[in-house]
Chain A
Amino acid sequence: MHLPFAVLFRLAWRNLWRNYRRTLIMLGAITVGVWAMIFMTAVMRGMVDDMLYRAVRNLPGHVQIHHSDYRDDPSISNSMPPIDQALLDALEQPEIIKWSARVRVPAVITSEHDTRGTTLLGIDPEEESGLSFIADSIVAGRFLESVDDRGLIVGQKMIDNLETVLGRRVVVMSQDPDNEIIDRGFRIVGVFATDLENVEESFIFTGRKTVQSMLNMGASISEIAVLGHDYRDVSDVLRLQEVTGPDREILPWYEIDTYLGTMLSTMDGFVLVWIVVVFLALSFGLVNTLVMAVFERVREIGLMQALGMRPSMIVVQVLMETFLLLLIGLAAGNLFAILSVVALSDGIDLSIVSEGMQMMGVANVLYPSLQTNDVLLADVVVIVLGLLAGLSPAWRAARYQPVEAITKV
């Protein structure tokens, strides 16, 4: 079948601008709709990415190795023996960027004014650098210098809660492996701050050996946090389980924090639903515009059929008109969405709702994240569903009987 695309394209293009006001209104609606699809997706992506980035950086790493019972009872009794040579060799493989062995125990911190529950982390400051947030978050005093460092790093919020200051002494209490209460005085040598206040309250840090010595746990450790190349795909890092042995459990971050893991896996589905919902709102206007455009040209369609244009060509012409309308709307919508994201590349200040944002684990400043896949998804959905919406008026146009269409008043 010969399809004269040149003349169909010419007719479609010129018909589009016959009622330019109606076309411009429809283009405006498509542009705003596409902008909303892409820009809001970028904002949501930015939010989820930020949550994930912060959550991963907030200590878990991409995967963690624990004692196999640690998740059920994260106490000192479920510590692991020191890292053996086989695991050490595996941790030095190129798919692993950084790793850090830690002691992590529940603790109570007491100042002269107040007492708070927290988590005490014994860390190796060198290993933590580049793996977790702590090395980069010191806002006052100093960071830890070695695994033997006896100073304490405390969050800004905790300092406020305890009504104490940098340089003062506090008492930290925890339990040793025999369930005996152990307490020890520490001097606050550094204060850290993050965008999330709950992190500043949740953790206090000192040297790993200092904690091991304080709790009489020898060289045992609570966890090994491991950083791979991409948090979205940690399969390479998970191969460590080949050498971890039966007493150890290796878990990716999305199993450690199932809320975030679920959020990542549902984000793609949510984006698709969002795009389809916006399009459905648009489609009513689109179908109405096309039906009106076809209805106004009944005699012309009859004439073209009388001259030898087959019904299939009429369908193609109306669909081509739909396609051009969508294409221009998409181009404008994409452009405005990209410009919006670029204009907001310094972030959207949401400090006015900071408490709510922090509850979600998101910082006060939101950085929209424009991903090629999301733009393509929006464009493909709009084109495919738009053409499907255009099928009805196109089909209606092709069904006119030439003799009736020509005499239509």
Chain B
Amino acid sequence: MSTVRCVDLCRFFIQGDQTIKALDHVDLSIGKREFVCLSGPSGSGKTTLLNAIGGLDKPTSGEVWVAEQRIDNLSKGELANMRLHNIGFVFQAYNLIPVLTARENVEFVMQVQGVPADERRQRAMAILQEVGLEDMEDRRPANLSGGQQQRVAVARAIVSRPAMVLADEPTANLDSVTAEHLMGLFVALNEKHSTTFIISTHDQRVMSYARRLIGLVDGRIVKDETR
């Protein structure tokens, strides 16, 4: 059973009289517990594919299936609901809500889901401990380093036990030590929680963690190897 399935997926952008094929007839299936890296140069379609899988963007044609549910034809509200219950996100930057503390950011998704306060707090503290930030629960993002902010984002992405975590260039703004630490955390969480991770990157060090590496060039899959 696949967690993600893309069938003949296309995403074209019109710029003036030019059509840019960000995704050009992509077929893809990613199973449970996989740790996948999408690699490729800038403009290859990594982020567009991630956005389509996450229901953040509508494809021009083709189908996207997440947890056996077709999502490319859902409304905005239905997509939000699908993301809420199935997907955790880690973005490159601006990952956290600045007016909430680290713990409140981690609790945010559960709060929108309607998880009771006690359970929410308990799970948030446990996951913050897991990412090594239990002493920083009351700090707001402005008082956390870039690496700490990314770890809070990872904690938030994983805390509601989604089917998969989508990470778009999560190490782009981090120094190499912090990036290594973050990737180690991803691997540990993937193994411990059986969560599918799909990470887009053009960083060779990040790719070295992948158990499946999908290469994209000009919106087409040019490489798909399992290690």
Binding site for B on A (CB under 8 A): 2, 4, 6-7, 10-11, 14-15, 18, 299-300, 303-313, 401-403, 406
Contact = CB atoms under 8 A, between A and B. Distances in A.
B77 A311 contact: yes
B94 A10 contact: no
B111 A6 contact: yes
A303 B89 CA distance: 9
Given A307-B109, A308-B109, A402 B56 contact: yes
A11 B83 contact: no
A53 B156 CA distance: 68
Given A10-B100, A14-B99, A406-B94, A307 B114 contact: no
Given A7-B108, A406-B56, A308 B85 contact: yes
A11 B99 contact: yes
Of all A-B residue pairs in the complex, the 3 with the closest CB atoms, nearest first, are A308-B84, A14-B99, A403-B56
B99 A306 contact: no
Given A300-B97, A307-B109, A311-B76, 16 more contacts: A4-B112, A10-B100, A11-B99, A15-B99, A300-B94, A303-B94, A303-B95, A303-B97, A306-B91, A307-B84, A307-B89, A308-B85, A310-B81, A312-B77, A401-B57, A406-B94
Contact of B98 (A2, A10, A300, A306): A300
Given A307-B108, A403-B51, A11 B84 contact: no
Interface centre among B80, B83, B98 (most CB of A within 10 A): B80
Nearest to A314: B80
B72 interface: no
Interface in B50-66: 51, 54, 56-57
Contact of A299 (B83, B94, B113): B94
B95 A308 contact: no
B104 interface: yes
Given A10-B104, A406-B94, A309 B56 contact: no
A406 B112 CA distance: 19
B197 to A, nearest CB: 17
A4 B80 contact: no
13 contacts: A6-B111, A300-B94, A300-B98, A306-B56, A306-B83, A306-B89, A307-B89, A307-B108, A310-B77, A310-B81, A311-B80, A403-B51, A406-B56
A373 to B, nearest CB: 39
Interface of B: 51, 54, 56-57, 76-77, 80-81, 83-85, 89, 91, 94-95, 97-100, 104, 108-109, 111-114, 156
Give chain A's interface secondary structure class. Answer: helix
Contact of B114 (A2, A10, A299, A306): A2
Contacts of B114: 2, 4
Nearest to A398: B76
B97 A11 contact: yes
Contacts of A6: 111
Contact of A11 (B89, B100, B109): B100
Residue of A6, A306, A313 with most partner-chain B CB within 10 A? A306
A18 B99 contact: yes
Contacts of A15: 99
A11 B109 CA distance: 13
A308 B157 CA distance: 11
A72 B30 CA distance: 98
A10 B83 CA distance: 22
A308 B83 contact: yes
B94 A305 contact: no
A399 to B, nearest CB: 9
Contacts of B84: 307-309
A303 B91 contact: yes
B22 to A, nearest CB: 11
Contacts of A312: 77
Contacts of A406: 56, 91, 94
A308 B80 contact: yes
A294 to B, nearest CB: 14
A152 to B, nearest CB: 79
Most buried by B among A15, A305, A406: A406
Contacts of A402: 56
A312 B76 CA distance: 10
B157 to A, nearest CB: 9
A11 to B, nearest CB: 6
Nearest to B50: A403
A397 to B, nearest CB: 13
B43 to A, nearest CB: 14
Contacts of A306: 54, 56, 83, 89, 91
A234 to B, nearest CB: 58
A300 B76 CA distance: 17
Contacts of B54: 306
Contacts of B104: 7, 10
Given A312-B77, A403-B56, A307 B83 contact: yes
A406 B97 CA distance: 12
B97 A313 contact: no
A125 B84 CA distance: 84
B99 A307 contact: no
Nearest to B76: A311
A308 to B, nearest CB: 3
Contacts of A310: 76-77, 80-81
A305 B54 CA distance: 11
A403 B94 contact: no
A128 B170 CA distance: 91
Contacts of B77: 310-312
Contacts of A2: 112-114
A308 B156 CA distance: 12
B112 A308 contact: yes
A4 B97 CA distance: 16
Contacts of B112: 2, 4, 7, 307-309, 313
